[in-house]
């Protein structure tokens, strides 16, 4: 680019704190409330530059935290001097969804500043948008077409604008907004600050920047060339899943992989806590690790991970910094990291000293570009696989049991140990067929080590094309936003006439259990009453029971402490329903 300026190359683990960026206290408080622990690389690099008033060309994809990178300096620079009603900042975005998303981000960060915002986009009546503009706003987030429309109607005035942001500029160009953008820019003051963010930098973007930006600073999360050499030997897989199927997808992947010790990365403290609760409710030994814990709590969590009492650690990047646990076999990017380098830091926690390491990434459709940036840094592809089906999980579990038994047969020391069981087995063979005995022994070993898979149906994990312009009127949307349905399951009404969850109980006919025993345990040991209990099916080695979803988690907790017909039971949500 002809305006080449300092290229800021960012390392994977920025050590800047939000408090180092000179932002107002009220913004810092809002960031803490969001659960952000430290700036992402693009934020650490862009915020100080934007605060100086410089123009900026930023190369960053969705998922890198770019919205806050431009929103925070804009909010920081607002000063409410009396009743000036004209907007001081204009953010142009390609789609209505992004307009809403960006304005929500402004709203969240600026909540204590009293910043006035409006999102202006097509496909909705203009009236409310015009009313808001008349009342006075500080920041307008707009799609170019509607912005021009409101300018024509004299509702949107741009002569007081100090900062213009072109967000996802490559998308806007692709959608044919170039002329609209140029017309809008022509109506803003010539001495404005102009900020351009784009995931890619084709020539047309460079030309646009050349025409409208003055001595821009170029900031990218460009990769260090040498990093690819540091990539550990790790089996890497990505799964593309929608946000609302993520928890269920994670459960499936964990069941398929059967990690000895895994670290699951989330972006925020709130995300860590929520996911930890969901995993616990599904019966996993999971613990949270984030910056909100005291040193003592942190030590306790780490101790349990090292001893094997915890199999899954759910953590933010900051909390996991410096974490060095030999037992770790899997790194799971539940949320993708905010920069390609951070990905390499994360996966560097496994696959050490010749041991096998596995890295799994759940990628939302809109984050594909960030995945591509990671692949570029790795100089290799991360294969994308479909989420394993329930049948895949069952066969992987069976394979693990077969492998374990097979390994006893080829290990001389183990064979000696086997001899000690000879009399007992011969006793069984006196009265039974050999194959029957082997089958029973296999089943016993399998269920003891792998648990029993429920006959779970299959969730459709395949993401549709990234949903555009959902109207919120359809029943489907209702399902998506219907309360704490974090597993993305469809809560059909059944004969209980309320949304239900199905519980998996690890005892069945073979332990002499009948539906009456399940009812007895539920009514005796939990808060459920008879009328709260839906369909019960007792299978050979497990049972399934439907209960109101609001009561499910508590019931699981209570039941996990009790016995049914003298058997200790394991109860969890029936995954993959």
Task: State the residues that interact with ligand AMP by CB under 6 A.
Answer: 36, 39-40, 43, 62-68, 267-268
Annotate 554-567 with b (16+ C-beta within 10 A) or e (fewer).
ebbebbbeeebeeb
Shortest distance in whole angstroms from residue 27 CB to ligand AMP? 12
Shortest distance in whole angstroms from residue 105 CB to ligand AMP? 7
Q: State the Cα–Cα distance between residues 360 and 380, nearest whole angstrom.
A: 15
Residue 40 or 217 with smaller CB distance to ligand AMP: 40
Strand order through the sheet with 262-265:
234-240, 357-363, 330-333, 262-265, 312-315, 286-289
Q: Read off the DSSP letter of residue 384.
A: B
* Helix (H), strand (E), coil (C) string for 56-115: EEEECCCCCCHHHHHHHHHHHHCCCCCCCCCCCEEEECCCHHHHHHHHHHHHHHCCCCCC
Shortest distance in whole angstroms from residue 186 CB to ligand AMP? 28
Residue 60 or 503 with smaller CB distance to ligand AMP: 60
Residue 418 tokens, joined: 């086997």
Residue 110 or 351 with smaller CB distance to ligand AMP: 110
Residue 375 or 455 with smaller CB distance to ligand AMP: 375
Residue 67 or 223 with smaller CB distance to ligand AMP: 67
DSSP sequence for 491-509: --B-TTSSBEEEEEES--G
Shortest distance in whole angstroms from residue 379 CB to ligand AMP? 24
Shortest distance in whole angstroms from residue 254 CB to ligand AMP? 23
Shortest distance in whole angstroms from residue 43 CB to ligand AMP? 6
Q: State the Cα–Cα distance between residues 500 and 562, nearest whole angstrom.
A: 22
Residue 370 or 393 with smaller CB distance to ligand AMP: 370
Residue 336 or 573 with smaller CB distance to ligand AMP: 336
- For the chain, the distance separating the N- and C-terminal CA atoms, rounded to the nearest angstrom, is 53
- Residues shown for the chain: 577
Distances (CA, A) of 324 to 231, 330, 374: 17, 13, 23
Q: State the Cα–Cα distance between residues 184 and 144, nearest whole angstrom.
A: 8
Residue 364 or 558 with smaller CB distance to ligand AMP: 364
| Backbone angles phi and psi of 217, in degrees to 5 | -80, 135
Shortest distance in whole angstroms from residue 425 CB to ligand AMP? 57
Residue 79 tokens, joined: 């000063």
Give Cα 18 to chain centroid, integer Å. Answer: 22
Shortest distance in whole angstroms from residue 319 CB to ligand AMP? 12
Residue 161 or 336 with smaller CB distance to ligand AMP: 336
Shortest distance in whole angstroms from residue 554 CB to ligand AMP? 30
Residue 443 tokens, joined: 């089943």
């Amino acid at each position: 680019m002809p305006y080449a300026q300092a290229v800021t190359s960012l390392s994977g683990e920025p050590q800047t704190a939000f408090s180092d960026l000179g932002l107002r206290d009220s913004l810092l408080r809002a960031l803490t409330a969001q659960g952000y622990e430290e700036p992402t690389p693009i934020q650490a690099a862009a915020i100080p530059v934007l605060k100086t008033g410089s123009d900026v060309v930023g190369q960053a994809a969705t998922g890198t935290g770019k919205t806050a990178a431009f929103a925070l300096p804009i909010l920081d620079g607002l000063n409410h001097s009396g009743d000036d009603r004209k907007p001081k900042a204009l953010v142009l975005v390609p789609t209505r969804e992004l307009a809403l998303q960006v304005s929500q981000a402004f709203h969240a960060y600026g909540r204590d500043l009293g910043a006035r915002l409006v999102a202006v986009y097509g496909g909705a009546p203009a009236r409310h948008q015009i009313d808001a503009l008349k009342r006075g706003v500080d920041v307008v987030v707009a799609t170019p077409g509607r912005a021009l429309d409101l300018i024509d109607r004299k509702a949107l005035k741009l002569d007081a604008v100090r900062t213009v942001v072109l967000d996802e500029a490559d998308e806007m160009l692709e959608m044919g907004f170039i002329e609209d953008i140029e017309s809008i820019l022509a109506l803003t003051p010539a001495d404005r600050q102009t900020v351009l963010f784009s995931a890619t930098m084709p020539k047309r973007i460079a030309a646009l920047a050349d025409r409208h930006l003055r001595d821009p600073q170029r900031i990218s999360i460009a990769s260090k060339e040498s990093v690819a050499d540091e990539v550990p030997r790790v089996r890497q897989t990505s799964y593309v899943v929608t946000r609302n199927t993520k928890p269920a997808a994670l459960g499936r992947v964990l069941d398929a992989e059967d990690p000895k010790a895994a670290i699951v990365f989330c972006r925020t403290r709130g995300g860590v806590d929520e996911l930890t609760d969901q995993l616990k409710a599904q019966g996993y030994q999971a613990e949270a690790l984030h910056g909100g814990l005291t040193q003592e709590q942190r030590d306790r969590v780490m101790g349990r991970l090292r001893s094997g009492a915890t199999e899954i650690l759910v953590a933010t990047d900051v909390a996991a910094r410096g974490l060095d646990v030999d037992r770790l076999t899997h790194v799971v990017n539940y949320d993708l990291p905010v920069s390609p380098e951070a990905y390499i830091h994360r996966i560097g926690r496994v696959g050490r000293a010749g041991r096998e390491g596995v890295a799994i990434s759940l990628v939302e459709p809109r984050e594909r570009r960030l995945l591509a940036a990671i692949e570029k840094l790795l100089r290799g592809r991360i294969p994308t696989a479909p989420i394993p089906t329930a049948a895949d999980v069952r066969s992987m579990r069976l394979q693990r049991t077969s492998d374990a038994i097979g390994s006893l047969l080829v290990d001389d020391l183990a064979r000696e140990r086997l001899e000690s069981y000879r009399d007992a087995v011969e006793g069984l063979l006196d009265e039974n067929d050999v194959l029957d005995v082997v089958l029973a022994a296999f089943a016993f070993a399998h269920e003891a080590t792998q648990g029993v898979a429920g006959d779970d149906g299959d969730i459709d994990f395949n993401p549709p094309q990234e949903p555009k312009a959902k109207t919120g009127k359809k029943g489907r949307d209702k399902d998506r936003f219907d309360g704490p349905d974090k597993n993305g399951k469809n809560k059909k009404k059944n004969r209980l006439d309320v949304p239900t969850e199905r519980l998996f109980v690890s005892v069945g006919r073979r332990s002499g259990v009948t539906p009456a025993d399940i009812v007895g345990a539920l009514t005796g040991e939990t808060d459920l009453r008879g009328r709260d209990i839906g369909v019960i099916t007792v299978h050979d080695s497990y049972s399934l029971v439907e209960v109101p979803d609001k009561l499910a988690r508590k019931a699981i907790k209570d039941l996990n402490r009790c016995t049914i017909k003298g058997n200790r039971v394991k109860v969890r949500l029936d995954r993959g329903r």
